[in-house]
Amino acid sequence: MKVLLINGRPKANGCTFTDLSEVSKALESEGIETTIFHIGNDYIHGCVGCGGCKKLGKCVFDDRLNEVIELAKEADGFVFGSPVYYASPNGAMISFLDRMFTAVPNLSHKPGAVVVSARRAGTTASIDVLQKYFTIRNMPLVSSSYWPMVHGSSPEDVAKDLEGLQIMRGIGRNMAWLLKCINAGKEAGIDTPVPETPVKTNFIR
Phi, psi at 21, each rounded to 5°: -65, -35
Tell me: the pLDDT tens digits for 145-180? 999 999 999 999 999 999 999 999 999 999 999 999
Please report which confidence band the pLDDT of residue 55 belongs to, taking 50, 70 and 90 as the band edges: very high
Distance between CA 118 and CA 4 in Å, rounded? 22
Amino acid at 79: V
Q: Which residues contact 30 (CB under 8 A, 6 or more apart)?
A: 172, 173, 176, 177, 180
CB 52 within 8 A of CB 60: yes
Provide the whole-model pTM. Answer: 0.94
Do β-strands 112-118 and 77-85 pair in parallel, antiparallel, or remain unpaired? parallel
Distance between CA 30 and CA 177 in Å, rounded? 8
Tell me: the pLDDT tens digits for 28-43? 999 999 999 999 888 8
Angle subtended by helix axes 123-135 and 91-103, to nearest 10: 10
CB 9 within 8 A of CB 40: no
Q: Where are the domains of the chain?
A: 2-187
CB 78 within 8 A of CB 113: yes
Q: Tell me which of 34-38, 42-46, 82-86, 107-111 is least confident.
A: 42-46
Q: 2-187 adopts what CATH topology? A: Rossmann fold (3.40.50)
Tell me what pLDDT residue 108 has: 93
Q: Which residues contact 113 (CB under 8 A, 6 or more apart)?
A: 23, 77, 78, 79, 80, 141, 142, 143, 148, 171, 174, 175
